[in-house]
Amino acid sequence: MTIRKVNPQLPPQDVCQVSFNWLIEYANDWFRKNVPDHGSIWFADECSYLLKDKFPDANQSVEIILTGSFLLRIFEMKYWNFNKVRLWTFSSKVRDFFIHYVGIEEKYIGLIGRSISKNNIASANFQDPVINLVYAGRLSPAKNITTLLKLTHQLQDHGLNVTLDIYGDYNLLPNEAFGRYTPIPIRQLIDELIYSRKWTTVPKFHGTVPQGQWIQHEYKNPVFISLSTSMYEDFGTACHIAAQAGWPSILSHWGGHHDAPFSTQIPFHYIAQPFEPEFIQSLKIRQLATGLISGSFIYNDGNSKMNNEIISYTDFSFLFEKISKFSSRYYPEFLLCLRDKMDSFADTKKGAALFQKYINIFRGESPSTAIIINDLKMAKEIDIQDINTPFDVIYLRNLLNPYLQSELSNYKRLLLFDLESEFEIIKNLVGRSVSLEHLNHKVAK
């Protein structure tokens, strides 16, 4: 076998490169129309700039666009060499994070708006004779593909004519904000789901297709769907393409999806995570299916106005001071992020506190009920009565973290699952204002 040197002018493809290329073109067009006197546009996540000698000159005014990996970019900003900068993001949630947790003033971080040529796209109606759900994107644990499959099966069990078409390739990108977990190939999880259940119509996997080609397929009643809770979900190119084609969307109310017009917004606490116990996933999926059928979720009709106010340049030294103060709170643990171990950082006390703040911003409103479980010690097969109220899941081990302990008081009702011996300890943590109850269950036969 011969080892050959690659062409140095051909940068390696990022797993998000197709989306990057689309966003770069979109951003350039948006700045041309809305900020005609802009400076050099730099996508901080786009590594190919460094290989193509397109890094902005330090003496120029620079428009720094922060995308999915913005948290990593925060920790590396001390190495940037700029004078005057403005920060920009595609997501109001990312902007909120910088304002409320990093301490950047609103006037220094702008929001790149969304423009949809279509108008008055109706929401998905599960009373229609047929619903063609379509997903396009990466098939990774962070995108909750297994949840999407389980939801489709649940809807079919309700007697609905629901189909699912999936476009994209498999990868193992984890949801690093939730810490480390045992890696299982996503393809294996998907295959087990497909072959272990009886389907009215089996979901179809089409593999990777060119950007936007999936939209050209003929469907009777297409609805784009993505239940992603990826920490890098700052825009959602596929749902934007779907809206441009006149499709409604069903999206996680999470990160960049929050700003997507013509979308039914699914609250975070209705979305089952692949690492959660199966009985928790089943509860959430039943609640999600019921909510979709009844049409009880909020629909973003596209009438909300994005903040397109022109922002001010700032000296990078001023920005550096804010960033350094933020970073110092998480030193030295955040060094794990720079060593490509962000999931390990999320399992430290400081990392868990930071990511809980991140999750609170990205998801918005939380429910008033939480279930506390010890998922490290429970039966594999559990049958539990339905809980009609939406809920968060809290893991007993996380209550060792003082910040997460303080979060308990935000709930009105806590359901303890197999935690009789821990009852008094948890009661002392939350005080009298929170209702504590035991959750009954039985081992499934």
Contact 266, 288 (CB under 8 A): yes
Question: Do both 231 and 310 map to the same domain?
Answer: no
27's torsion region: left (phi>0), alpha (psi -120 to 50) or beta? alpha
CA–CA distance, 198 with 242 (Å, rounded to integer): 29
Indicate the residue among 256, 275, 297 that finishes a domain: 297
Indicate the residue among 242, 274, 297 that finishes a domain: 297
Sign of torsion over alpha carbons 164, 170, 172, 177? negative
Residue 381: DSSP 8-state: S
pLDDT at 143: 94
CA–CA distance, 220 with 132 (Å, rounded to integer): 7
Nearest partner of 336 among 327, 326, 346, judged by Cα: 346
pLDDT at 445: 44
**Residue 420's domain spans which residues?**
366-443
CA–CA distance, 395 with 372 (Å, rounded to integer): 6
Question: Do both 320 and 434 map to the same domain?
Answer: no
Amino acid at 387: I
1 within domain boundaries: no
Question: Do both 398 and 415 map to the same domain?
Answer: yes
pLDDT at 126: 95
Q: What is the pLDDT along the chain (445 residues), one digit of tens a residue?
A: 788 888 877 777 777 777 888 898 999 999 999 998 899 898 988 777 667 667 788 788 999 999 988 988 888 887 888 888 999 999 999 999 999 999 999 999 999 988 887 778 889 999 999 999 999 999 988 999 999 999 999 999 999 999 999 999 988 777 888 998 887 888 999 999 999 999 999 999 999 888 878 999 999 999 999 999 999 999 999 999 999 999 999 999 999 999 999 999 999 999 999 989 999 999 999 999 999 999 999 999 876 555 556 788 888 888 888 888 998 999 999 999 888 899 999 999 999 999 999 999 999 889 999 999 998 887 666 777 678 899 999 999 999 899 999 899 899 999 998 888 888 888 888 877 889 988 866 554 4
Count of domains forming the chain: 3
Question: Do both 310 and 293 map to the same domain?
Answer: no
Question: Do both 292 and 393 map to the same domain?
Answer: no
Question: Do both 71 and 207 map to the same domain?
Answer: no
CA–CA distance, 366 with 232 (Å, rounded to integer): 20
CA–CA distance, 220 with 175 (Å, rounded to integer): 34
Question: Do both 190 and 290 map to the same domain?
Answer: yes
